[in-house]
Structure 1
């Protein structure tokens, strides 16, 4: 089988990182097209031996990208096209249909109740999504929560397949040596209390709550891996609260070792507690990675944990997400001292090998259920 993955961008986001780790475990030949932003994950994919092409799309309404993408798919003679993230799902499903691809699968990574990929869900956005969803063979939800949202939208149940995000847990295992080395690299004392967060710096992630809570705890420090439009605002807030020297925004950090900022596993080893204050999540990949590192986790919403029985992730605690509550809980952790936990059963549940097996089942279903390769416009003209 030969598959093409189409994704909106390849910066160091959750969906992008998930694509990279997934391709390491899928037993099929895969190429990747990114519509925009061939960032750190594109470099990582190429290092893994994956062919990555940047389509050079200029914006959501760059309709010239559609024939370019269609020609690329047709030349590649792909058996299956797999799309990731909203823009890629819309353009990719149309292009795959025009190119005559036999089966098209789309993964819905970031569908919230009121937002999609951090942007408000509008009626036109929803209508365009549903209109193009019908062109595909199957839609993958990364959690039961997302599957329920898709069903509420009107996507037929038989088209929805749940394939949870997965991690390579061994990469995130706690390392005492890595903890000391990372803290030394960042100028953090070995005995300092360190709060951590990972994610794109957008309003929906509510990193301002972490900044305010840590600023209210003299001696506590905050490390955040991620970049985005809120960076300047958050740095200004930290300075206004006289905590800029204790709060570090490290930019995009790959899940793998790099020459820039420390990789995410190293940062997790350097932390004492992990916080996710997001308003909405479709899965909560960073929370699962933190649990794999043995960190206590405070989260406001996380389907990856909430869709499982509570005993599967005893180190994760749900919070209301107010600054006052978070400050109080962090103060308790700070007083109790550093505590490392054993990775809970939830980590094994979200093993990437298991996720890849489930996705291969979806591929088989899509290829079996789909009709033979549809004629392309050129072959139609030949028949006439």
Structure 2
């Protein structure tokens, strides 16, 4: 089977890194097209031996990209096209149809209650989304919560398949050596208490709450934010105004998997360097960073995480939902710091999200799409 994955960009983000990990486990010949931003994940895919093509789209209204993508699909002789993220789903589904490929699958990574990949869910966005969705065979939801959101939008249940994001859990096991090296690399003393956050530095992630909580915490607490984005300078400014700039470290984008020639700690080492992960984002489609932190044996504070909330409470006893702002996070962080370090036990929830299992489920979707049928919605 020859499959083409079409994605909006390949910077360091949850959907992008999930695609790279997934391709390591899919028993299919896969190529990737990125509409824009062939960033660090593109380099990682190329290092894995995946052919990556940059379409070079120029803005949201670059209609010339459509015939270019259509020609690429037609000339590649692909059996199936799999699209990821809003713009790529629109362009990819139309181009696949124009190229004569009927087996089209999409994964919905980032739909919230009120926003889709950061954009407000206006009637126009919803109408365009649904028009494009009808051109595919199956839409994969990364959690039961996302599946319900899609049905609420008007996507027929028979067209939805729930396949949760997956992780390579053994890679995230706590590593004492990696912890020491990562802390030394970023100038974090070995005896300080490190609060971590992982994700794009954008408004929806609400990392500002963690910066504002920092002055309410003892002086031996540090904040380690892993990610890049438009709010980086704003977060630095708030930290300066609050007098805690010397207690905050911003690493920029860090890959899920180590890249050749990159000496900086990867995400796995950075999670080992943390004592707790905080995820204040109020709208998540899955909550990949939370699951990765749980795989590292970390306690987790979160505002919204379908990956945890869709499971029984006993599946992730170290994950606690926080309602409120900076003061609420400060209270919970003080409680965890006082409780002392845990034993880094990996909870049962992590084993529900195995990337190899997700890849097998996706191959079932591919087989059904090629046969011209849909699989009924299921849960993880």
Same fold (TM over 0.5): yes
* 1:382 match: none
Q: Cα distance, 1:85 vs. partner?
A: 0.2
1:211 is aligned to 2:211: yes
Counterparts in 2 of 1:106-185, with a 5 A limit? 106-185=106-185
Q: Distance in 2 between matches of 1:185 and 1:338?
A: 22
* Cα distance in structure 2, aligned partners of 1:76 and 1:205: 38
The TM-score with structure 2 as length reference comes to 0.96
Shift of 1:338: 2.4
The answer to whether 1:86 aligns with 2:95 is: no
Specify the alignment match of 2:281 in structure 1: 278
Aligned to 1:375: none
Is residue 174–residue 344 contact of structure 2 (8 Å, CA) maintained in 1?
Answer: no
1:364 alignment partner, one of 356, 367, 379: 367
With structure 1 as the length reference, what TM-score do the two structures score?
0.95
Q: 1:60 — aligned with what?
A: 60
Select which of 322, 335, 345 maps to 1:342: 345
Alpha-carbon distance, 1:165 to partner? 0.2
Q: Partner of 1:31: helix, strand, or coil?
A: strand
* C-alpha separation in 1, matches of 2:142 and 2:287: 10
For 1:377, the equivalent position in structure 2 comes to none
Greater mean deviation of Cα atoms: 340-349 or 3-12: 340-349
Q: Contact 1:296/1:340 (CA < 8 Å) preserved in 2? A: no
What SS does structure 1 have at the residue aligned with 2:195?
A: strand
Give 3-state SS (helix, strand or coil) of 2:268's partner: helix
For residues 225 and 276 of structure 1, the distance between their equivalents in structure 2, rounded to whole angstroms, comes to 12
Q: Secondary structure at the match of 1:42?
A: helix
Which whole-Å CA distance do the structure 2 matches of 1:16 and 1:323 have between them?
30
Q: Partners in 1 of 2:81 and 2:294 — Cα distance?
A: 33
Shift of 1:118: 1.8
> Take 1:138 and 1:364, find their aligned partners in 2: how far apart are those partners?
11
Instruction: Decide whether the 8 Å contact of 1:315 with 1:341 is kept in 2.
Output: no
Q: Structure 1 residues 196 and 21 mapped into 2: Cα distance closer, same or farther (>3 Å)?
A: same
Deviates more, 1:345-354 or 1:214-223: 214-223
* Cα deviations by residue, 1:148-204 (Å, 9 ceiling, x for unpaired): 000001100100000100000111110011111111111111110000000011111
Give unmatched runs, 5+ long, in structure 1.
372-384
* Alignment partner, residue 12 of structure 2: 12
Tell me the distance in 1 between the aligned counterparts of 2:8 and 2:15: 10
SS of match in other structure, 2:356? helix
TM-fit CA distance, 1:260? 5.4
Find the counterpart in structure 2 of residue 303 from structure 1: 306
Give, in angstroms, the shift of residue 337 of structure 1.
2.5
1:4-60: CA deviations, max 9, x gaps? 000000000000000000000000000000000000000000000000000000111
RMSD: 1.1
Alignment partner, residue 220 of structure 1: 221
1:331 deviation in Å? 1.1
Partner of 2:194: 194
Structure 1 runs of 4+ aligned residues shifted over 3 Å read none
**1:84-126 alpha-carbon deviations (Å, 9 max, x no partner):** 0000001100000000013000000000000011221111111
1:27-38 maps to which residues of 2 (within 5 A)?
27-38=27-38
